Structure 1
């Protein structure tokens, strides 16, 4: 009899639950674009690892600037950005928090000079085409500094990054600063052009991260931890030499290239394994730290008038997700 009463109450409770509305969490909407460290998310998507981890995600593929615009407009929960651009967006009204360091640029960002110019020092008095205020601009300034030159030693021409190959080809500028695939396209388009300085000459000047809105992070922290866990599953897969052929097939298919064409882009990006990522999360003022790098970009953004006062860099970075990965 006791069992019968218990069963009856249990069934009544189930019947009541059946009448209540069932709400399922919306997929996490993430914007990503054409950069090797971000296309790498495609591996987790194709292999179903997010479903295995118990988190529903909606990765939305779009142009880089368009992805940031969509994020600012509240259409995305997160977006893949450089540390400098995340600060730029934050300084103009949309703060975010970086929870995963995907990579640092290791050669894919370039200062590409026209034929006949073989060094940065030869750019003195010449024209450099660059999208002012973006990370390629910072890289160009770093290049000039390495040659003992300053910003006033060249003439700057403001050019959208995706137009830099064509502008170099017209001869309107003597060099351009851009990232892949635009930097590579410039080298192909202008015969005899060459990279006179790349991000490999200043490793850590540009970090690429997954940045999440404060609202989404506060409400879905457990889900974002699952996303971080999957990222390091992807990294472990990539770093296994037995998987490199399949990885290149997945990555190259996203941008409609052959694996052979895509491989140089992949090699120009240092995707950080967990051990190295934890070191990069250590707070110091060197380029080996995402904090140090971000402070340099913070100063650059103020100098360029992107925003008026330096931001609190620490509030844009949260190492706890990486530290929690087993």
Structure 2
């Protein structure tokens, strides 16, 4: 049932419309990942209008959202830091202005029954989509466990088909992210996670990426979007709001709150202070720059694109830093 807006709400809506009267609303494509579904809180609560910025969110499948961005149908898209390099190296560059989260267990290498540890994969087949983030996670698992890529056989498998190939016993393990990893664990009794993104925090960062053209034209408006994001983060981080947050997030993906909660917990949404730390330029997974350099090396090695990219051109911490300064 539609709730009647108050006079104050109408005034806020009018303010937002006037603020963007000179141009089109900002268009953001977002998809089914907890750190991105979180935008729904700001949408449902009217916080964008309250901030004086008009934003249109387009809900899409992940790959479709990137295609829409490359085609110029939206101004911004939610992507992993690795996939942002792929879209830039093969199509349209973008600039990350918000680090929403890092994967904290939702991306997994799942072993079939009888595979008790990662090292048991030696000489086995692993179904994973080559060139995607779970392939990178698999390589990291090999490194951590003192193994080499030659110790396993990679079977190139679309991520959404990995639960079926594990159930069919066509492979001994799969690499997938939620909800596919969870589906595999449900479909195959005795299957277990062998290595997850929680074992390599920072290997997969999730960001909001904006086109350079839109950033140049709408810098003030994107700054307001950053402010709304951290209002969402503050809401989520308050334990008193957890039930309401899960209600909003789960409704977006047609699940019950209790079904959605494990997905939410497998995603580490960054506070403002934590994000500022990740924005510092450094090597290693503790920095979005170091993580992106690792992915860039991976993309070149597996011929996703031809030569290394300058990852610094794909990242802009200035919006987060400016917001932090405004809060002092």
Q: Give the TM-score, by structure 2 length.
A: 0.92
Q: Which runs of 5+ in 2 are unaligned?
A: 1-19
Per-residue deviation, 1:233? 0.3
Per-residue deviation, 1:286? 1.8
1:296 aligned partner: 294
1:147 aligned partner: 145
Structure 2 CA distance for aligned equivalents of residues 125 and 96 of structure 1:
40
Per-residue deviation, 1:159? 1.1
1:281 aligned partner: 279
Structure 2 CA distance for aligned equivalents of residues 136 and 263 of structure 1:
22
Structure 2 CA distance for aligned equivalents of residues 100 and 87 of structure 1:
16
Residue 201 (1) aligns with residue 210 (2): no
Per-residue deviation, 1:93? 2.5
2:189 aligned partner: 191
- The SS at the match of 2:309 is coil
Q: Which runs of 5+ in 1 are unaligned?
A: 1-21
Which of 242, 245, 249 is equivalent to 1:247? Answer: 245
1:271 aligned partner: 269
2:219 aligned partner: 221
Per-residue deviation, 1:101? 0.2
Per-residue deviation, 1:151? 1.4
Structure 2 CA distance for aligned equivalents of residues 57 and 175 of structure 1:
42
**Structure number with larger C-alpha Rg:** 1
2:117 aligned partner: 119
- The SS at the match of 2:208 is strand
Q: Structure 1 residues 252-261 or 148-157, which shifts more?
A: 148-157
Per-residue deviation, 1:23? 5.5
Per-residue deviation, 1:107? 0.5
Per-residue deviation, 1:148? 1.2
Structure 1 CA distance for aligned equivalents of residues 73 and 265 of structure 2:
32
2:230 aligned partner: 232
Query: Cα deviation per residue 1:11-43 (whole Å; 9 max; x = unaligned)?
Result: xxxxxxxxxxx9642111111111000000000
Which of 311, 314, 317 is equivalent to 2:312? Answer: 314
- The SS at the match of 1:192 is coil
Structure 1 CA distance for aligned equivalents of residues 162 and 31 of structure 2:
18
1:9 aligned partner: none
Per-residue deviation, 1:83? 0.2
2:92 aligned partner: 94
Structure 2 CA distance for aligned equivalents of residues 132 and 66 of structure 1:
19
Per-residue deviation, 1:182? 0.9
Structure 1 CA distance for aligned equivalents of residues 222 and 57 of structure 2:
14
Query: Cα deviation per residue 1:37-89 (whole Å; 9 max; x = unaligned)?
Result: 00000000000000001111111111111111111111111100000000011
Structure 2 CA distance for aligned equivalents of residues 161 and 283 of structure 1:
31
Structure 1 CA distance for aligned equivalents of residues 24 and 106 of structure 2:
35
- The SS at the match of 1:149 is coil
Q: Which runs of 4+ in 1 moved over 4 A?
A: none
Q: Give the TM-score, by structure 1 length.
A: 0.92
Structure 1 CA distance for aligned equivalents of residues 250 and 314 of structure 2:
31
- Superposition CA RMSD, Å: 1.0
Structure 2 CA distance for aligned equivalents of residues 25 and 124 of structure 1:
57
How many residues of Structure 1 are paired with residues of Structure 2 in the alignment? 305
